Amino acid sequence: MRQAFVFPGQGAQSVGMGREIAQHSSAARAIYALADQALGWSVSTLCFAGPEAELTATENTQPALVATSLAVLAALAGDIDQIVPYTRQHAVAVAGHSLGEYSALVAAGSISPVAAIQLVRQRGLLMAAATSGSMAAVIGLDDDTIDQICQRVSTLDAAVVVANYNSPGQTVISGAVSALEAAGEALKAAGAKRVIPLKVSAAFHSPLMHDAAQALAAFVASTPISAPAIPVISNITAQPLRTATAIAEELPAQVESAVRWVSTIEYLVADGITHFVEIGAGNVLSGLIKRIAPDAITTTITDMASLEAYRSQQTA
């Protein structure tokens, strides 16, 4: 059985996430304590009790989700210091959707939990500060058609691009508002079932995030990064990140590049992965994976019941 651990990104958050597992696991509590100390405010309280409006603010959501993913992984491993050995023992690769890539890098031993949480706090602040453009989800149309329409309606002053290749029939576009509107009309005319505007503050994963990416690069440059102990699959290329240099280049570029989640899962399946274990909040990735690779087996670990069920399967 070849497994990959996968970690969710923004949108998976909910008030109460991580609370139950922290009540039962000292390792999970230790991660939240590290996060609280690293940030100088109680991200654990925000995860466990909200309020929702604060939790869903980008600058808070990002460290909250990474802390929760790492708390669940630490609970699974039994100790913070066992996160990387446990991951190496049970997974042959790791991946994360956008923000989730930071959790994957911790699991692979490339960055420390504290460094990841501090980086995504800065990432969230920079992304929240961006106010240009918006995003929309496109349902029921193939990626090639979406790509072609985005290119056709884009101009030098107002561009729109694919931001997330999430699953067959579910794609997110991002860019200048006028270009988004033009693309939306053209996509519906081409057969899209729906084009749904998203409630976001800016055009994430598009060239409009270039300034944020450049600013993030300065924080990444001062962060200790090691080569991963197991392959981390890049959001940008859907190929393994194998060196510290590649990771340092990936993290800023990722903010303004498309998340190639379909290609990521296809790469892992082609590499012989049959089981995907989603670790953290929610089950968004498991749903996407089943649409990309219907024969894949998915497991979601969010609380003690799902954690114990997974452990039982591993020892059966």
Run means of pLDDT, 10 residues per run, the chain, 316 residues: 95 95 97 97 97 94 97 97 97 97 98 97 94 94 97 95 97 97 97 94 93 97 97 98 96 97 98 97 96 97 95 80
* CB 71 within 8 Å of CB 106: no
Q: What is the pLDDT of residue 316?
A: 63
* CB 115 within 8 Å of CB 223: yes
Q: What is the pLDDT of residue 315?
A: 74
Instruction: State the amino acid at position 57 in one-letter form.
Output: A
Distance of alpha carbon 235 from alpha carbon 56, whole angstroms = 23
In order of their start, the domains of the chain are 3-129+208-315 (3.40.366.10), 134-201 (3.30.70.250)
Choose, from 97, 110, 205, 257, the residue flagged as catalytic: 205
Q: Is there a catalytic annotation at residue 205?
A: yes
Choose, from 25, 98, 103, 263, the residue flagged as catalytic: 98
Is 152 exposed, middle or buried (CB count within 10 Å of its CB: 0-12, 13-18, 19+)? Answer: exposed
